[in-house]
Amino acid sequence: MLGSTNKIGKYYVYGSTLISAFIVFLIFTILLINSWDAISIIGLDLLSFKWNAATGEFGILPMLFGTFVVTFISLLIAVPLGIYTAIFTSEILPSKYRFVVKSLLELLAGIPSIIFGLIGIAFFSIWIQDIFNLQSGRTILTAGILLSIMILPTIITLTDDAFHHIPDKYRESAKGLGLYKFEIIKEILIPIAKPDLKAAILLAFGRALGETMAVMLVIGSIDKIPEPIYNWLSPGQTITSKLGREIAETSFGSVHFSAMIFMGLLLFILVLILTILSQNSLKSSNGRLYE
């Protein structure tokens, strides 16, 4: 009886894995088929700087630029803030308060992105407009700041768990050598948790790439690269904000529609690569550190 139960459980796990892998493959196939017209008809012109559906110009570089710059800004803010917060909750905050504080921080993950977008319009865009004396606060910088808040729960949770799962023997040995708390964190815990920190950053990177609604509301949605290129106070566009605004206006089967799906395909591939890299990082850390 026990053997048959184990077989059922094993087949269920294998079946679930195959179904999940098939779904990923199916999504990739559907995106590739629907973007093939853009690849075959537009070709290398997809990698141009101008997007104008009326004239048949579908250059995606402004959207790629906006995606990576907004993500870079968000990671620049969220990574140090998230790691330092996780160090505080895991290593400094008394354990009786840890669960409450960590739960409150993780509530950020449950807030709908549209709420963040409304907050961005009502506050962040106004602050950016007033601070820098702009005509509009809907800029690349505003989107990056807002996105950094949205990916904080991912970084805090994974980093806190990474530190919390390090065996106490490392801390006790370090204390026995006379190291202070700061030295233990800097010289012992951070190097041990480094692979997990990399995984947390990669997963946050993937989350940032896929965010749509909040970014769409505050970025300004202008299909061009700022001049000069480092002018983050200009409006811009990301792949997700472009898809969110324009996909409903396209006719199914048109080259315009195919070009939009092609951007979705690129985004899917990027997120898939980041997920694989983060899983490999977690696998190496689990195999090397917690034996």
Token readout for 100 is: 């409450």
Lowest mean pLDDT among 58-67, 149-158, 265-274, 280-289: 280-289
pLDDT of amino acid 263: 92
C-alpha pair distances (Å), 148 with each of 8, 106, 152, 271: 44, 14, 6, 17
- Residues paired with 57 in a beta bridge: 52
**CB within 8 A of 134, min separation 6: which ones?**
128, 233
Cα atoms in the 13 Å half-sphere on the side-chain side of 253: 0
Token readout for 220 is: 């300004």
Cβ–Cβ under 8 Å, residues 248 and 260: no
Cβ–Cβ under 8 Å, residues 144 and 77: yes
290 exposed, middle or buried (CB, 10 Å; 0-12, 13-18, 19+)?
A: exposed
- 171 versus 289: the higher-pLDDT residue is 171
Rounded to the nearest integer, the mean pLDDT of the chain is 85
DSSP character at residue 251: P
- Provide the CA 121 distance to its chain's centre, in angstroms: 21
CATH classification of the domain holding 191:
1.10.3720.10
C-alpha pair distances (Å), 31 with each of 24, 26, 82, 242, 266: 11, 9, 34, 16, 9
Each residue of 35-84: pLDDT tens digit?
Answer: 998 888 888 888 888 888 888 888 899 999 999 999 999 999 999 999 99
E strand or H helix at 79: helix 61-87
pLDDT of amino acid 1: 52
pLDDT of amino acid 290: 46
Q: What is the CA radius of gyration of the chain?
A: 23
pLDDT band at 144 (very low <50, low <70, confident <90, very high): very high
pLDDT of amino acid 286: 56
The count of structural domains within the chain is 1
Residues of the domain holding 253? 2-289
pLDDT of amino acid 265: 93
Cβ–Cβ under 8 Å, residues 184 and 245: no
Please choose, from the candidates 173, 169, 192, 174, the residue with its C-alpha nearest in 3D space to the C-alpha of residue 184.
174
In three-state secondary structure terms, 167 is coil
C-alpha pair distances (Å), 56 with each of 42, 222, 255: 9, 17, 8
